[in-house]
Chain A
Amino acid sequence: MTALPWWRDSRKLGWLVQAAVGLGLLVVVALLLSNLEQNLTRAGLRLTLGWLNQPAGFDIAETLLPYKASDSYGRALAAGLVNTLRVVGIGLVLSTALGVVAGAASFSTNPLLRGLSRTYVEVVRNIPLLLQLVFWYFAVFLTLPPANQAVQLPGLQLAKSGVYLLGARLVNGELVGGWRLSLELAALLTGLVIYSAAFIAEVVRGGIASVPRGQWEAAESLGLKPLATLRLVVLPQALRVIVPGLNSQYISLAKNSSLAVAIGYPDLYAVAETTLNQTGRGIEVFLLLMVVYLGLDLCISLLMNGVERLVHLKDR
């Protein structure tokens, strides 16, 4: 029997298609890499990480990590990373809190509360985050009054010099003491939290809605008030659906923190952009950014997987 031509052989076809695709990809990648090599050598920038030790020469507006302009690029990027982690950490906590409240509120018996929650979600979801961020920063926080006329809220004082929590006092026309957030950080957090919380609210709402009506009724017939029902009966079951949704929202929040560059908060991306502009080391900086952000996503996913397992174990 004559051998089958390859285009008719069902066993060979799969391999051949893969070989063709693989070859095609290899060719494209090889071309790109060779171009890269040529262009980099011409610009005098061979791929290396040694430049990370050179002095950065630029200031960073605010850092948790001690840093001065004579420190290395590596330290500058680390400072940026710490700033990013600060925003993401606080942001996750606050947006979860707000999101859970808003999500639960959409099931309230009070129509005003329900309506408010729905309106909040529907309005915030449909306006781009960047627009909200620049709005908060330029139209709200930058227009705050000077320190001696600071806006007083319970536990908060808002002024041109920053947002002060927990008891700052006016000394010689300036606010001192307490915990100070720069305007940039405050605006970034406000915009990011309000935006993310709307999406988290939807996740929470979907999770609660997935719990069968019978659970509510059973709890009610046992004499539990609605709030207690929510806390003790419904939420634990809803969590099974909520946790995966939260995972993707948290990752979104981490990625969205990179918009800080638009309002002057020196997060990792902003510092990286300045570094690139000064050193011209595009490829290395880009790869560093990708590795860090992908790593951050992975950490969040691992954390949420752990939470999911916790939630699962509880009821088996």
Chain B
Amino acid sequence: MSRLSLQRWRRQLFGSVPDTVLSLGLGALMAWAAWGFLHWAFGQAQWLVVRANAATLAIGRYPEAQEWRLWLLLGMLVSLTGLSWGLLRGRGGAAAPGWPLNDRIAAALLGLLTLGLPPLLAFGAINQGRLLCLLGLLLLLRTLAGRWGNHPWGQRLAKGWPLVWAGAYLLGLWLIGGGLGLTPVRPSDWGGLLFTLLITSLTLLLALPLGVLLALGRRSELPLLRWVSVAYIEVIRGAPLITLLFLGQNLVGFLLPGGLAPDRVWRAAAVLTGFAAAYVAEAVRGGLNAVPRGQLEASRSLGLSTAQTLALVVLPQALKVALPALVGQCIALLQDTTLLSIIGLFDLLGIARSVLANPDWLGRYAEVYLVLAVLYWGSCAALSLGSRALEQRLSSNNLRPSHR
């Protein structure tokens, strides 16, 4: 730190008497809290509960014999992530000679996590080895893809990349659920982090198009479409999620013929989708409002149909503007999945509570909940950061505002 900033800090912290008192008081408070926490974490806390149940927390009651499918899924995800990372970096134009600083920091962090965490959680040697291999795969693919980024081959690959992810997602669903050659694993056996991530991603993917439709409906000139959309959005937004989940679990049986009732997991997923769609609709509506009317006019005057105008001109711009709000919804959805534990499903929180109900681990609430808090916080904070980075990247495309 330069001498100047050091002086500035000193002035701000201790400039006047009230400031000094405040600084010292806050400093003392923070130190006391930190010391208290560390004392508890390394002294009184019994972390065995986390180590013994790490697998359960991660994948719930997924049958052990089928775990290899999850490893395969993880491998596929890691490969795709590595390739995507590399392709994104390589597209910069100039061939990136080494790795940018952010990438190196990320790689170092990942390395630390992979080397440090598994032994802490008492993963067996085999699993530790597998995780290290996966890390190696990630970094290798990132390096290779970084070089391909400038190849015409690589650029063609990059254009079709969203399709690759879509295909991978479907493949992942098959690996998890089974059927068609693989032993089926019932949704009620999916649990823990696996379940949370699955439900969040599935709900989001389904809620996005539904939300876009609702947003378009809300802005429609046709009164019926508008009223129906507004009514749906406002009623859903006014209701607590738990009451809607409740409806889904208990009342769907009444609404379907012959008391037909799909698996509880799908019922909950349907409710979550309908719920999230209302909020996505509001976020997209903000984006739609931001697209200037002239865009619509220019597009129509060129002869593009309403559908083409929407798909090619309006929605791309609207979604770009709505992106921060949409990521906010994604984060909210991830947090909302915890409510599934109240209706008896085994998302991460639900399975944690069932672990805590085990008399072996009675009273170890703080340890388990803290680990969960770190996991959730990490995911949400990462999403937040990612959205800010994406925002900056997208807005750098339109450098200068239109000159007069």
Contact = CB atoms under 8 A, between A and B. Distances in A.
Q: Do chains A and B touch in the complex (CB under 8 A)?
A: yes
Interface of A: 14, 17-18, 21-22, 25, 32, 35-36, 38-40, 109-113, 116, 122-123, 125-132, 134-135, 138-139, 142, 251, 255-259, 261-262, 269, 273, 276, 282-283, 286, 289-290, 293-294, 297-298
Contacts of A125: 380
B223 interface: yes
Contact of B243 (A22, A258, A262, A297): A258
Given A39-B254, A131-B373, A122 B381 contact: yes
B240 to A, nearest CB: 4
A286 B341 contact: no
Given A39-B259, A138-B369, A294 B247 contact: no
A126 B369 contact: no
A98 to B, nearest CB: 16
Contacts of B302: none
A283 B228 contact: no
Given A35-B257, A255-B239, A298-B238, 8 more contacts: A17-B222, A127-B373, A127-B380, A130-B342, A138-B369, A255-B240, A269-B243, A290-B235
B326 interface: no
Contact of A126 (B13, B221, B242, B381): B381
Contacts of A122: 381
A109 B12 contact: yes
Nearest to A31: B257
8 contacts: A17-B222, A35-B254, A109-B15, A111-B12, A112-B26, A128-B335, A129-B335, A294-B239
A134 B356 CA distance: 12
A21 B213 CA distance: 13
Contacts of B376: 126-128, 131
Interface of B: 9, 12-13, 15, 19, 22-23, 26-27, 30, 221-225, 228, 235, 238-243, 246-247, 250-251, 253-257, 259, 331, 334-336, 338-339, 341-342, 349, 353, 356, 365-366, 369-370, 372-373, 376-377, 380-381, 384
B377 A126 contact: yes
Nearest to A289: B243
Contacts of A289: 239, 243
A22 to B, nearest CB: 5
B254 A40 contact: yes
Contacts of B336: 128
Contacts of B26: 110, 112-113, 116
B22 A112 contact: yes
A290 B255 contact: no
Contacts of A251: 238
A132 B366 CA distance: 11
B239 to A, nearest CB: 6
A282 B246 CA distance: 9
Nearest to B383: A126
B240 A294 contact: no
B279 to A, nearest CB: 11
Nearest to B8: A111
A18 B225 contact: yes
The 4 closest A-B pairs by CB, nearest first: A126-B380, A128-B335, A139-B366, A139-B365
A269 B240 contact: yes
A74 to B, nearest CB: 19
Residue among B225, B239, B259 having the largest count of chain A Cβ atoms under 10 Å: B239
Nearest to B14: A110
A36 B255 contact: yes
A131 B243 contact: no
A89 to B, nearest CB: 17
B280 to A, nearest CB: 16
A131 B349 contact: yes
